[in-house]
Structure 1
Amino acid sequence: MSHPVLSVSASYALALRAALEAAGNQNYRPGTLFVVATPIGNLADISLRALHVLQLADVVACEDTRHTQALLRAYGIDKTPAQLLAVHQHNEAQGAQVVVERLQQGARVAYVSDAGTPAISDPGARLVQAVRLAHLPVVPLPGASSVITALSAAGIAPGIQQHGEFVFVGFLPSKTTERQTAVAALAGELRAVVLLEAPHRIEALATALATLGTRQLTVGRELTKQFEDIANLAAQDFPAWLAQDANRLRGEFALVLHPVAAPQAAAADTRVLQLLLAELPLKTAVKLAADITGEPRNALYEQALQLKKPAA
């Protein structure tokens, strides 16, 4: 997800000095790839270690050199055009080999995506893989992520799902039929699901998600930015929520489809067991149901016996 680089009136000179004080005495080995998270909107959401590494880097690899140059200059960091290397989704394989060569020559290379944490829906994974295969070190610098930011605002309480599990899906297919099929699959996903969407496709996504009825949805629009908007609503109400204000169609979206509530999850587990019992011997059905649902086999066995009683 990208964001406009905002001009700032306050100087980041103090932040750069603080970055040097806080992170300057750490070890930043030559020949290392630093995977650096950058803000998803609010420029102040940059870590001190990220600022220090971006200053220190011999090369900054990035999705868009013009965007990254503007971002660096907003922080008072100057890099020459020769120090910026474009590595994006269309050239990542070739760009990764250039990065590997620079690392082998002893350069410190920082990689940033246009916004947020690289390799999470953004480019970066192929680059990291290539560097790993070359037996060169990779150091991640954590920071902003629209995925985690959206989850933190969703209010999914402990106990609704096991161990806080969630599924990151990202962008659904753009074609209507494929998108509808993907949403139908999400209906059977009991865990929380994180989705991303662009403004020009959000209405189509809202229409598709509305088929999930009363399942709760947290909509994060323009997260961390000036016109941030976070709403909790039923999936079926999402299209109407968008239609209430034309401004809601603007900006980037991160959405959390909440986990299925416990009674609904139990009903879904029972349905799985019923379908298996109709086709398989009891023990085999119980084993497969345990594998599919994650429920204890003993509990499913007792439930299966109860389901078999009417037939007896």
Structure 2
Amino acid sequence: MRALLAGVVVVSSVLVVSGSQAASEPVVAAEPVAATKRIECAPYLIIGLRGSGQGMSDPLGMSGTVGNYVQQTVAKLPQEPGQVKTYSLPYPANPVGLKTYPPSLRDGVWILRLALRRIISRCPGTNVGIVGYSQGAQVTDLTLRAIPEVERRVVRGVVLLSDPVNLGHTAHAITVTPGGQVVTRKGKGILGALTDPYPADMQARTFDFCIEGDPVCDAPDPLSAWDLIIAAFSVSLHGKYNECCGGQSYEAARILSSKLAERMKIPAPQPPALGPTPVPPDNVHLCHGALGLPSRAAPSSRPAPTVALADKNCAPAVS
């Protein structure tokens, strides 16, 4: 994240205030994102979620970090035509800030949640993998906590890169020094104390990766003023996930993509019968029609937005 020192303070404070207050503020996009790609059914589908301020650029419309990990995962799955598809989740991925980050998270969670439901209903037999970096890791983490266990079954493997809400040293945590040594995580996500435990049924399918000293995913608990000063000098580690770690000592992208591919090859249980589609709150912006949501007019007390960021970035229909 850019301007991390200021950002973590802003995000930490904003997530404990009323969501309705944040929702009333205008949202500014990091970069306009056009949702032009449909989710395509295939035996294997990998969803990528960009980090804060990253646009839907190459590779795979997932920007550099996530795109690299997904590309390497694709190479380790069956190579016959039509076997593997990728999808860059078109959520805002706004920069860190009081007016931008919370709405981006909120919309991202709902877009991913509803996209997964569409995959379950339209693509039986599809094994889903997810790779999220930074804000994208947080959206993934929060979504998997929010949906019922039967809907999580379709997600066969998850890679979380620098998850701001990780709970520290857990069964699914992998922590590596910048020099490539695997160590026990001493800290936790900068926002980790604000969340409930990660779902037990997902732990064996999740790889929560963090570079030791990255203040976003390895923050001291409790966080002191001195820790924030140190974080300011450690911010560069947050951008090192493509280079990690220590030359060939621990090639994170290669190792984690192999782990993800192996998990994705394990068949999912019988697809669950889905209940009624949940309806997002009024302050969530997404393309209802493209996601198969019930149409809903804007409440008379709140005029329909003329520029709703996530309305331009909704998850397209499944084909």
Q: Same fold (TM over 0.5)?
A: no
Give the TM-score normalised by the residue count of structure 1. 0.30
Which structure shows the bigger proportion of residues in helix conformation? 1
Give the TM-score normalised by the residue count of structure 2. 0.30
